[in-house]
Amino acid sequence: MRYKIQGDTMPVVICTLDAGESVVCEAGAMSWMSPNMEMATKAGSAGGFFGRMLSGESGFQNHYTAKGGSGLIAFTSRFPGNILAIDVTPDKPIIIQKRAFLACTAGVNTEVFFQKKIGTALFGGEGFIMQKLSGSGTVFLELDGSIVNYSLREGEQMLISTGHLAMMEASVSMDIQQIKGVKNVLFGGESLFNTVVSGPGTVTLQTMPMSNLVAEVVSRIPTKTS
């Protein structure tokens, strides 16, 4: 498979497949394709089906295969941000935010990922239920806003406002830390908890989580007065 990512604010990834090659995507993700791309909708294993539903994705996935020659298929972003291509290998699975998955080659496995620490489970918000991508192949992710990467050393930590953590290597651990100080909590304008990630491994942060964008848009809608 060959691909190119085009566009800035609302990007698209255009994939060219050789005969017999397949890509997998979420239901409704395909934007355009050549006529020889054959579609098959599959649920996969029961665990994968319900895991995808818990992580905010559709339980079903669409498999597109090029028939009788090379084929073309495109997937566009659903919101302003970036499309990121990641090579997944058996020794380096990755953890992504729910709803980030866009498409992948047939060798990538998707499953739900639960944070194990009780603090993260109770107060982690979007970070409690994530997705784990393993196996071997290329995956395309749609992330919110611009992207910043940090490589953390063993034991090195970073505090992240809820929703800004987009992706991390499976070697990175995650927990939740409450903001200290009554005035900070009441008047600081931040959430009550921050996400704490600890190395070793790489974390990918996004500058404008969709939840923040929606809240900003809603706050600017004029209210009706009688």
State how far the Cα of 37 lies from the Cα of 65, in Å rounded to an integer: 5
- Name residue 85's amino acid: A
- Which residues, listed in sequence order, are joined to residue 163 by a DSSP beta bridge? none
Sheet containing strand 193-198, edge to edge, reads 157-161, 193-198, 173-178
Chain centre distance of CA 40: 23
Cα 217 to Cα 166, 175, 220, 221: the distances in Å are: 21, 30, 5, 7
Q: What is the pTM of this model?
A: 0.80
Which parts of the chain have pLDDT scores under 70?
Answer: 44-59, 115-128, 178-192, 215-216, 224-226
CA angle 167, 57, 192 (to 5 degrees): 55
Exposed, middle or buried by CB within 10 Å (0-12, 13-18, 19+), for 23?
buried
pLDDT at 185: 43
State how far the Cα of 3 lies from the Cα of 25, in Å rounded to an integer: 15
pLDDT at 187: 42
pLDDT at 128: 61
pLDDT at 179: 65
In CATH, 2-219 is 3.40.50.720: no
pLDDT at 184: 44
pLDDT at 163: 85
- Residues 63/42, Cβ–Cβ less than 8 Å: yes
- Encode 157-168: b = buried (16+ Cβ within 10 Å), e = exposed: ebebebbbbbbb
State how far the Cα of 48 lies from the Cα of 219, in Å rounded to an integer: 37
pLDDT at 182: 44
Domain ranges of the chain: 2-219
User: Would you state the torsion angle of the CA atoms of residues 51, 87, 151, 91, taken in this order, to the nearest 10 degrees?
Assistant: 70
